[in-house]
Amino acid sequence: MQKATFAAGCFWGVEATFRRLAGVKSTQVGYTGGKMDHPTYEAVCTDRTGHAEALEVSFDPAVISYNDLLEVFWNNHNPTTLNRQGPDVGSQYRSAIYFHSPEQEALAKTSRDAAQARFPRPIVTEITPAQAFWPAEEYHQQYLEKRGLSNCHI
């Protein structure tokens, strides 16, 4: 098993998208990239903690590759809007890839460069080392699935 961490706006829809993929064994929404230990949703929503709403994915690389996960990431959000996805605005909604190894870093950068051809504006996605990942409150985990929804408003 390997781990991948992505931020692509509101974590509810991001989680729902990745949970459907063969080879993804588990997902967990949470907060990363900030300067506070044990952040809460309320604190992150102030846009003062520096955290992004993120998704941690455990996957079987024999079934789905990290490159495949990167393609899903690029295809399911707008990586050209700084600190925004649709109506959601704030640094917690930024586009970011948090890599867990030098190989993931290289693949993420190569993937970003290839994805740029699909977008008319520059990609602003952060590609940065994985940091402490703080799981979100239980009610955020599999939020859409628990409510019988397949996607968010975006």
Question: Does the residue 151 lie in any domain?
Answer: no
Is the pTM above the cut of 0.75?
Answer: yes
pLDDT score, position 141: 84
Residue written as token pair 């903690």:
49
Question: Does the residue 74 lie in any domain?
Answer: yes
Beta strand ranges found along the chain (DSSP E): 2-8, 24-32, 52-59, 84-85, 88-89, 95-99, 126-129, 134-135
| Cα–Cα dist 7/125, whole Å | 9
Question: Does the residue 152 lie in any domain?
Answer: no
Write the pLDDT tens digit of every residue in 67-110: 999 999 999 999 999 999 988 899 999 999 999 999 999 999 99
Inform me whether the pLDDT recorded for 4 exceeds 70.
yes
Reported confidence tier of residue 154, pLDDT bands at 50, 70, 90: very low
Question: Does the residue 60 lie in any domain?
Answer: yes
Write the pLDDT tens digit of every residue in 108-142: 999 999 999 999 999 999 999 999 999 988 877 87
Question: Does the residue 154 lie in any domain?
Answer: no
Question: Does the residue 43 lie in any domain?
Answer: yes
Residue written as token pair 């789905």:
64
Query: What domain range is 128 assigned to?
Result: 2-146
Lowest-confidence range among 21-25, 57-61, 147-151? 147-151
Q: Could you say which DSSP state residue 131 is in? A: -
CATH code, domain carrying 69: 3.30.1060.10
In terms of Cα–Cα distance, which of 121, 130, 41 is closest to 81? Answer: 121
Count: domains in the chain:
1
Share of the chain above pLDDT 90, in %: 81
10 part of the active site: yes
Question: Does the residue 99 lie in any domain?
Answer: yes
Q: Which of 4, 8, 10, 152 is catalytic?
A: 10
Question: Does the residue 153 lie in any domain?
Answer: no
